[in-house]
Amino acid sequence: MSKPPKFDHCPEPRPWSHGQSYDHFMSTSAVRFGLVGYGFGGRYFHAPLIASAPGCELVGVVTTAPSRRDELARDQPGTSAYDSLAALVEAGVEAVAISTPADTHVPLAQEAIRMGLAVVVDKPFALDPASARETVELAERSGVVLSVYQNRRWDADLLTVRRLIADGELGTVTRFESRFERFSPDPGPPAAGGGTLLDFGSHLVDQAMLLFGPVARVYAEMRVRDDLGGLDDDFFVALEHVGGVRSQLWGSWVQGAPGPRFRVTGTTGSYVIEGSGGQEDDLIAGRSPATEGERWGVEPESRWGRLQVGATRNSVPTERGRWDTFYPAFAAAVRGAGPVPVDPWDAVASLEVLAAARTSAIEGRLLDL
């Protein structure tokens, strides 16, 4: 059995809010990071955030493709390219972020752990809960700091939902609807990524469990495609949480009319927000916390959601998105000044739910956990 998930320790956007003081953290030397992989995720979601993070230094990137190396030279001048994890270690890195195809996450993470490196693994952490559990246990035996890159915990819209729930603005929440839907000519994530359920579902299930805790029952449906090697490009997952809230989660690459990002229903009203936050768009456009400063993660009023009771609608200011806090928090954990930003056992618990969802979809039945 896996360690019971906490899902209650997601830190506030100040990595020094736990443990030792900010002054102590900043007085220590920067954590020397390496990045493994420079595809879309490595290039846009990891490299610029590591490079701009207080307490972090991006030393080098493992990528062997000439085109990727050219992109690295343009994007991060002075950051070296390397051929292997071993070469990064020789360059003096203390921590690595792994942003490679999902089927390589576990072997690379375990290799890095055995080298004594602190490790961040992109989602999905693993293709199955057993290998995820094995990796977390290896890190614990080795005394190595390990976390999973669930950056969507710091989405502006999710932080707003957390605030509204904490402030009682919705009354008692009864239903949580969450979507990652898009219409794309691409068929979905490659086979190495485990399909859309694992790719998008890793975020959707993590967010639902962060908000409402462990899951008691799972029902799912998937659209499986032969040209994707039997993997899915569209899914629906229904969760019944132990506390009684019901989460309904959609993920799709083929949805011509995407629904609202969130609709959260409570006993006194509902919160609805369309689309997604601007942090991803900013990173793809070449902007980062280093270039934007206090403007980073701030959503314009045109993107705010609304509180609604029947015909009554009130605009709700959206919280500032804080993807920029993940790597400072992880660096603080490496220096012993706080917890990891995401407990890897949470990722194991999410993978158990996703595995049950896949079984449910294949067998066409409700599963108890």
With cut-offs at 50, 70 and 90, classify the pLDDT of residue 185.
Answer: confident
Asked if pLDDT for residue 267 goes beyond 50, the answer is yes
* Residue 345 belongs to a domain: no
Name 225's bridge partners: 231
**pLDDT per residue as tens digits for the range 97-147:** 999 999 999 999 999 999 999 999 999 999 999 999 999 999 999 999 999
Asked if pLDDT for residue 172 goes beyond 70, the answer is yes
Q: State how far the Cα of 176 lies from the Cα of 153, in Å rounded to an integer.
A: 15
With cut-offs at 50, 70 and 90, classify the pLDDT of residue 8.
Answer: low
> In the predicted model, what is the mean pLDDT of the chain?
91
Asked if pLDDT for residue 220 goes beyond 60, the answer is yes
For the residues 331-356, what does the mean pLDDT come to? 98
Q: Are residues 223 and 121 in the same domain?
A: no
Q: State how far the Cα of 361 lies from the Cα of 238, in Å rounded to an integer.
A: 11
Q: Are residues 121 and 256 in the same domain?
A: no
Select from 63, 139, 140 the least CA-distant residue to 99. 63
Q: Are residues 276 and 335 in the same domain?
A: no
Indicate which CATH number applies to the domain containing 124: 3.40.50.720
Q: Are residues 202 and 336 in the same domain?
A: no
* Residue 2 belongs to a domain: no
Task: Give the count of domains, the chain.
Answer: 2
Indicate which CATH number applies to the domain containing 190: 3.30.360.10
Domain of 145?
Answer: 22-152+325-340
Q: Are residues 93 and 167 in the same domain?
A: no
* Residue 295 belongs to a domain: yes
User: Quick one: pLDDT at residue 292?
Assistant: 96
Asked if pLDDT for residue 225 goes beyond 60, the answer is yes
User: Quick one: pLDDT at residue 2?
Assistant: 40
* Residue 17 belongs to a domain: no
**pLDDT per residue as tens digits for the range 38-54:** 999 999 999 999 999 99
Q: What is the pTM of this model?
A: 0.92
Q: Are residues 140 and 176 in the same domain?
A: no
Asked if pLDDT for residue 214 goes beyond 90, the answer is yes
With cut-offs at 50, 70 and 90, classify the pLDDT of residue 276.
Answer: confident
* Residue 174 belongs to a domain: yes
Q: Are residues 145 and 213 in the same domain?
A: no
User: Quick one: pLDDT at residue 192?
Assistant: 59
With cut-offs at 50, 70 and 90, classify the pLDDT of residue 353.
Answer: very high
The label of the residue with tokens 């768009």 reads 281
User: Quick one: pLDDT at residue 174?
Assistant: 98
Q: Are residues 33 and 147 in the same domain?
A: yes
In our burial notation (b when 16+ CB lie closer than 10 A, e otherwise), range 202-226 reads bbbbbbbbbbbbbbebbbbebbbbe
Q: Are residues 214 and 363 in the same domain?
A: yes
User: Quick one: pLDDT at residue 13?
Assistant: 45
With cut-offs at 50, 70 and 90, classify the pLDDT of residue 193.
Answer: low
Q: State how far the Cα of 158 lies from the Cα of 154, in Å rounded to an integer.
A: 7
User: Quick one: pLDDT at residue 242?
Assistant: 98
**% of the chain surpassing 90 pLDDT:** 84
**pLDDT per residue as tens digits for the range 18-43:** 344 445 545 568 999 999 999 999 99
* Residue 11 belongs to a domain: no
Q: Are residues 229 and 308 in the same domain?
A: yes
Q: Are residues 329 and 306 in the same domain?
A: no
Q: Are residues 86 and 169 in the same domain?
A: no
Q: Report the relative pairing of strands 56-62 and 80-82 from DSSP bridges.
A: parallel
* Residue 13 belongs to a domain: no
